[in-house]
């Protein structure tokens, strides 16, 4: 997978090659751990013939992403002193940049990482219509296309991933407030993405590990990213 990016705090706009660290990933692990207080009900086995456990869903969960991949010599573009600067770094230099970014705080905008983008193929848009094209430019969904007076053409080949759209992995669901998958959700924290430049997973890098091997130009690494709202 080459569609994985670590965004620094300095990232803004829609250019995924600016103020980001592109990563070559061989494996992505997604972990969601639900936190629900639970307790067994005394004597429930006597009355009901089986034991019963009561649980209270308070809407709490921890979300983490585990990445395994390889670091190669790569060109990185950053905004340095107000100017766009592109340099080719060795794999060892990039490993050092990532390690320094994990060690820094949110005040170091050119170092600290605040967002992880993992692009994945998608056939179905946030409005539950298939991906496609609109005769009026700038409209990414069928709903917005029709509202703009355009004609929408659905994709026709659903067995070819290239006909879909790359969107960031997210924990958001399709639909707006109290609509579609968000029925019963009055104020969604994040909206389902429709393009590759939409917001991915915000949070922080929990850990980063790599080894400098003798005479090795490529470095294998593991990275743990925790989804969270970080202050500052």
> Do 27 and 92 sit in the same domain of this protein?
yes
CA atoms 16, 17, 19, 22: torsion sign: positive
Residue-wise pLDDT tens digits, 37-70: 999 988 888 877 899 999 999 989 999 999 999 9
Q: Is 142 helix (H, G, I), strand (E, B) or coil?
A: helix
> Do 12 and 100 sit in the same domain of this protein?
yes
The predicted model gives 142-154 an average pLDDT of 90
Domain count, the chain: 2
Q: Does 16 reside within a domain?
A: yes
> Do 200 and 98 sit in the same domain of this protein?
yes
pTM (two decimals): 0.88
The predicted model gives 8-18 an average pLDDT of 93
User: Which pLDDT value is given to residue 159?
Assistant: 66
Q: Does 41 reside within a domain?
A: no
> Do 100 and 118 sit in the same domain of this protein?
yes
Percent with pLDDT over 90 in the chain? 67
Range of the domain at 76: 4-34+56-123+164-178+194-227
Q: Does 222 reside within a domain?
A: yes
CB-based contact 203:226 (threshold 8 Å) = yes
**pLDDT over 80 at 186, yes or no:** yes
Q: Does 146 reside within a domain?
A: yes
Q: Does 62 reside within a domain?
A: yes
What number of CA atoms fall less than 13 Å from residue 182's CA on the CB side?
20
Q: Does 51 reside within a domain?
A: no
Q: How confident is the model at residue 25 (pLDDT cuts 50, 70, 90)?
A: very high
């Amino acid at each position: 997978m080459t569609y994985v990016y670590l965004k620094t705090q300095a990232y803004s706009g829609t250019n995924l090659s600016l103020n980001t660290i592109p990563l070559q990933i061989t494996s992505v692990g997604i972990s969601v751990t639900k936190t629900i207080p639970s307790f067994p009900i005394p004597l429930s086995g006597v009355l009901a013939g089986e034991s019963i456990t009561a649980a209270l869903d308070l809407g709490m969960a921890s979300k983490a992403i585990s990445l395994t991949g390889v670091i190669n010599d790569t060109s990185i573009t950053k905004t340095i002193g107000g100017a766009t600067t592109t340099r080719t770094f060795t794999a060892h230099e990039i490993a050092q940049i990532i390690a320094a970014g994990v060690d820094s705080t949110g005040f170091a905008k050119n170092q600290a990482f605040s967002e992880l983008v993992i692009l994945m193929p998608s056939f179905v848009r946030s409005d539950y219509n298939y991906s496609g094209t609109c005769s009026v430019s700038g409209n990414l969904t069928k709903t917005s296309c029709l509202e703009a007076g355009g004609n929408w053409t659905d994709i026709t080949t659903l067995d070819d991933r290239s006909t879909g759209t790359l969107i960031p992995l997210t924990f958001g669901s399709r639909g707006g407030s109290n609509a579609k998958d968000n029925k019963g959700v009055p104020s969604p924290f994040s909206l389902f993405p429709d393009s590759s430049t939409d917001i991915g997973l915000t949070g922080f890098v929990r850990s980063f590990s790599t080894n400098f091997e003798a005479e090795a130009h490529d470095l294998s690494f593991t990275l743990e990213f925790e989804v969270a709202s970080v202050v500052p």
